[in-house]
Amino acid sequence: MDKLLIRGGRTLQGEVLVSGAKNAALPELCAALLTADPVTLLNVPQLQDVSTMLKLIRNMGVTAERADDGTVRIDASALNTPEAPYELVKTMRASVLALGPLLARFGEATVSLPGGCAIGSRPVDQHIKGLAAMGAEIVVEHGYMIAKLPAGWTRLKGARITTDMVTVTGTENFLMAAALAEGETVLENAAQEPEISDLAEMLIAMGAKIEGHGTSRIRIQGVDQLHGCTHRVVADRIEAGTFLCAVAATGGDVMLRHGRADHLDAVIEKLREAGATVQAVEGGIRVQSAGGATLKAQGFRTTEYPGFPTDMQAQFMTLNCIAQGTATVTETIFENRFMHVNELVRLGAKIQTDGKVAVIEGVPRLSGATVMATDLRASASLVIAGLVADGETVVDRIYHLDRGYDCMESKLRGIGADIERVKA
């Protein structure tokens, strides 16, 4: 397995291009299954999860061509196998996003229960509950969700769907399914993430009738069919937030080209309170910092958008490790999302955990060591720790990192980091 070798202690200067969002690109690749017309996606990131999703839809009979500039052209007119097998989706929970589009367009779908990072339970019961409210008959057998329309039905039917919890992939599945359903669907307690709004804008460009995306109540008027479109994937707010934390921790002055400050309000507010200067500027976000010794530790509680994102918890925790003072971090989304703590402690961090709460006491310095990534965002937190630690840090099992960050080490090298990939 590849590793990252990082020699810490350098400040970061220059410009980083923020890639398209993984969490928008994956549902939008599935949305292309809703039409027999060609669909073109721009700004698709070069990620392992994207490659897996492309392999998945090609396995269904879809033509998908990927260019080096981030353009993906999809033609699902010859789709003949509405199935997502375990072998192709065992590493990626986003596979569940194929369920709604396949069921809506073809009246049937067989989708493996998803895999992904080992950061806690990601139940699909809310997906099943919502699609069942639209008339789908779904059973779970031998590790697969098997869905079909009732006898005599040609389309799903609109419904009012209220989930027991806010679910991002559930909201996305219902959006796509409802676009081709008969009548009106109302999503209550809908997720409000920018990636959902981006998916809704793509569906609207395909001919869907959607109102209220970006709020907790979304209305969808089903249409008979959707057509092709060209859509640009929104910039990845979590990648941008990760670089913001990296520059704040190491010190420096970096422009994040295409970054969207309006998608990172909660993170930026905490970074400013910590002592970094973060500004929305024309074309992106500028971050300036004098580095860890000047920062003040900041407590926070993860919650659904627009609150502090769980996907930024690990990265900000690393910043707290070398800031002045003590901070309390509460993780409310996933129950196993403190697995990076033991690895940060190996680097000299002082962290105590109790259930969903972590207490971080800032230390003057971290020291390099070999650490192991346990999930996608934990990987990013360890990279940031390596950038500020004395000496050499080796981050092992970076296949997690490759699932969600497009060329992270080369982007960091471009702004002055001493980092290289070591091939196994």
Positions annotated as catalytic residues are 117
The annotation status of 375 as a binding-site residue, yes or no, is: no
The annotation status of 418 as a binding-site residue, yes or no, is: no
The annotation status of 7 as a binding-site residue, yes or no, is: no
CB 318 within 8 A of CB 381: yes
The annotation status of 311 as a binding-site residue, yes or no, is: yes
The annotation status of 22 as a binding-site residue, yes or no, is: yes
The annotation status of 93 as a binding-site residue, yes or no, is: yes
By DSSP bridging, strand 39-42 and strand 72-75 are antiparallel
The annotation status of 122 as a binding-site residue, yes or no, is: yes
CA–CA dist 172, 177 (Å, integer): 9
The annotation status of 364 as a binding-site residue, yes or no, is: no
Three-state secondary structure readout of the chain: CCEEEEECCCCEEEEEECCECHHHHHHHHHHHHHCCCCEEEECCCCCHHHHHHHHHHHHCCCEEEECCCCCEEEECCCCCCCEECHHHHCCCHHHHHHHHHHHHHHCEEEEECCCCCCCCCCCCHHHHHHHHHCCCEEEEECCEEEEECCCCCCCCECCEEECCCCCHHHHHHHHHHHHCCECEEEEECCCCCHHHHHHHHHHHHCCCEEECECECEEEEECCCCCCCCEEECCECHHHHHHHHHHHHHHCEEEEEECCCHHHCHHHHHHHHHHCCEEEEECCEEEEEECCHHHCECCCEEECCCCCECHHHHHHHHHHHHCCECEEEEECCCCCCCCCCHHHHHHCCCEEEEECCEEEEECCCCCECCEEECCCHHHHHHHHHHHHHCECEEEEECCHHHHHHCCCHHHHHHHCCCEEEEECC
CB 91 within 8 A of CB 63: no
Q: What is the CA 130 to chain-centroid distance, rounded?
A: 22
The annotation status of 124 as a binding-site residue, yes or no, is: yes
The annotation status of 309 as a binding-site residue, yes or no, is: no
Three-state secondary structure readout of 151-218: CCCCCCECCEEECCCCCHHHHHHHHHHHHCCECEEEEECCCCCHHHHHHHHHHHHCCCEEECECECEE
Residues 6+ apart with CB under 8 A from 262: 280
CA–CA dist 39, 228 (Å, integer): 5
* Binding site, annotated residues for UDP-N-acetyl-alpha-D-glucosamine: 93, 122-126, 311, 333
* Binding site, annotated residues: 22-23, 93, 122-126, 311, 333
* Binding site, annotated residues for phosphoenolpyruvate: 22-23
